[in-house]
A and B are shown apart, each in its own frame.
Chain A
């Protein structure tokens, strides 16, 4: 019996001791075992909310300095959200968060004196619980890092796993360490951020095509953009160009980007922000991603020659010509009319004396040699019609386009792989090759519906999931030959399905 009593004492006493620790607000505040914050308000609920706000603020100051916040949680939920003015966020996991209404002596005293009729409350979490929560977060982060390593070992990039691991680190104010192979990282968050920023810095944006917007041909242009570099499966790239009121989400190889802009030169530069993201993020991670974006400034150029058109009309007014410029998709800031290298006028619609006009007349816009058009002329009324546009229409297609290269597509030799497409392995190498050829004016590429004679196009077929180049089909004569397998296809669009097709017109 005595032995049982002793055993009971041994078990019960520690329980009583631990219960005593939580008895009053003052005791909690005096203890070094807790993180705590006290607040007051008209109601108990409000006081607890305020206390929680202060505690989260205090804990989050371990993450970053902040100036303002709002609390979303209304009870002792394990997750609280708050934002500061610079939109940094902490979405902390605080398992074990507790509240207490304070009935300490000093509170009673104030109340008795009528000084204060507000309720006092304390919000607190033990350091042990905070560490436990941090441990849970760390476990999740490490699982994603291990998944990254497993995928990397299989030759998969696993970048989205790194990104999700990075976002998860924001669930705890404490640092998380990790061992990558033989490298020990004491604080994984800045390490991951650097990796992700490096990835982003290596990407480039390439515009492969410019066309009129199908619904708003007069106001908007549609750019086809392509991410160049080691883009990663599962990642999404957000492009935002506020200056031209345009944004796009790039999760596939290419994206279409509608811009409100009229170019002023054959090559137009754009700048914007490219931000990293990934698909299928849960709501708390999404809010963290929005608050701590991994972004960079990015610039790209677009070749506008395919949509710019320039022309002019000459009306015979007896002794002089009434000149009328006609242009489309061009922001014009200067006009220059000349004849046989002699400048005649810089007005928009000048009257030019016939006696001043030589064998040709030239209109140059924006002081740019590439934006010039010349017409042979004889200062006679009978020849007037010959120099006017054949049909002036509101659509660019019927106007005389400024064709800078003035090259006509040549039928490509049916099986002559002069550019070595069959040797290319994946989308990355295709991108590089096409960019090189485009720069040299040897290729135009895009979707089938953009070619007048698609049967003359070569077609590259890329497997979407692996991004491997699977088929290189020659032009239709009337069958297409696959230079990879040697197979002949009579109707490849029905025979080879599920591929991304890049149509090429070779020069």
Chain B
């Protein structure tokens, strides 16, 4: 009898621990009390809890309890395939943010991703359609940096543009986690200019010991979209896991062209076979706000690039 009781107690403890470990609930700090917002809270909580459960049980995601768009399911499944993750907080309080076009966003969701190389923590961003269905999930830039960039929005239009730019950037970044070639392909314009900085050793003649060591120099190599995509496809197939993160983001609006923005940032690339840090420049055309296009992508290695040599928006003449 005593043994039975002990077993029951043990089962009870295990189930309580399992419940406490895997359930993540979210509440909105700016909840207006409407039934729509309450059901949104429930839907996101279900999604996070499903991440936790599937992570612990090492299985694929089940979508039967989560209201989501087919695109969201496809994208989140792709991320999942390349690295499972879970939410490491049980009770979250976050703001429900409004996006242009009456959509919503919840940011700052703490996620830990299990990769073949170890674990990575990320701040998850969930996009929600105006009707309250989960539309996308991606890995956001750090909340403080996001706030700093948004704080600089001085008018509502500027604020919204910044939202779109950062949304684009976070989606662009997560496309690497998903190995989403289609998304990246659609992001670059057909005539996109791709510049990649390559470090070369420049050998010098002469007896001088120092000069005989050679001088590191960055050579800028130009690719077209097809070449770049082909290279990227090889990278995706070689690496089980890819994680790209962005830092030191600067947003510059073109002086003459309202829809052209330049983004300068530091890119940290980590993958199963390779890692590097470099300066990334993107010239983005927001003529169609729902489908921003990258006209120029330039990457330069951080170590061997002087600050004055970083490619920026002013280096290009924009002719449309």
Contacts and interface: CB of A to CB of B under 8 A. Distances in A.
B33 A466 contact: no
A182 interface: yes
B148 A147 contact: no
A466 B142 CA distance: 13
B273 interface: no
A156 B151 contact: yes
Contacts of B97: 150, 153-154
Contacts of B148: 465-466
Given A465-B151, A466-B148, A153 B156 contact: no
A289 interface: no
Contact of A151 (B33, B96, B146, B151): B151
Given A143-B155, A182-B33, A151 B144 contact: no
A501 interface: no
Given A147-B156, A151-B150, A153-B95, 4 more contacts: A146-B156, A150-B98, A153-B30, A466-B147
Given A181-B32, A182-B32, A466-B144, A155 B151 contact: no
Interface string B130-164: 00000000000000101110110111100100000
10 contacts: A146-B156, A147-B156, A147-B159, A150-B98, A150-B159, A152-B30, A153-B29, A153-B95, A156-B150, A233-B151
Nearest to A158: B151
Contacts of A234: 151
Interface of B: 29-30, 32-33, 95-98, 144, 146-148, 150-151, 153-156, 159
Interface residues of A, number: 19
Contacts of B29: 153
Contacts of A156: 147, 150-151
B286 to A, nearest CB: 19
Interface string A218-255: 00000000000000011000000000000000000000
B153 A147 contact: yes
A85 B98 CA distance: 45
The residue in A144, A146, A153 that gathers the most chain B C-beta atoms within 10 A of its C-beta is A153
A374 interface: no
Contacts of A150: 97-98, 156, 159
Interface of A: 143-144, 146-147, 150-156, 181-182, 233-234, 280, 465-466, 468
B155 A154 contact: no
Nearest to A155: B147
A207 B212 CA distance: 61
A182 B97 CA distance: 17
A144 B147 contact: no
Nearest to A147: B156
A146 B97 CA distance: 12
B118 to A, nearest CB: 21
Contacts of B150: 151, 154, 156
A360 B95 CA distance: 70
A481 B113 CA distance: 32
Most buried by B among A144, A147, A154: A154
A468 B148 CA distance: 12
Given A233-B151, A466-B147, A466-B148, A154 B95 contact: yes
A132 B246 CA distance: 46
Contacts of A181: 30, 32
B151 A147 contact: no
Contacts of B98: 150, 153
Nearest to A466: B144
B123 to A, nearest CB: 13
Contacts of B159: 147, 150-151
Contacts of B154: 280
A358 B146 CA distance: 73
A181 B29 CA distance: 13
A41 to B, nearest CB: 42
A182 B29 CA distance: 15
Contacts of A468: 144
Nearest to A144: B156
Nearest to B154: A280
Contacts of A465: 148, 151
A20 to B, nearest CB: 42
A465 B144 CA distance: 10
A259 B243 CA distance: 57
A280 B147 CA distance: 20
B154 to A, nearest CB: 7
B127 to A, nearest CB: 15
Contacts of A182: 32-33
A465 to B, nearest CB: 5
A143 B151 CA distance: 15
Tell which of A146, A155, A466 has the most Cβ of chain B within 10 Å. Answer: A155
A279 B156 CA distance: 17
A280 B97 CA distance: 27
Nearest to B146: A154
A155 B159 CA distance: 15
Contacts of A151: 150-151, 153, 159
A468 B143 CA distance: 13
Contacts of B156: 143-144, 146-147, 150
Contacts of A152: 30
B185 to A, nearest CB: 32
A468 B147 CA distance: 13
Contacts of A146: 156
Contact of B155 (A147, A155, A233): A147
A182 B33 CA distance: 9
A153 B146 CA distance: 13
Nearest to B30: A153
A469 to B, nearest CB: 13
Contacts of B146: 154
B28 to A, nearest CB: 9
A408 to B, nearest CB: 41
B99 to A, nearest CB: 10
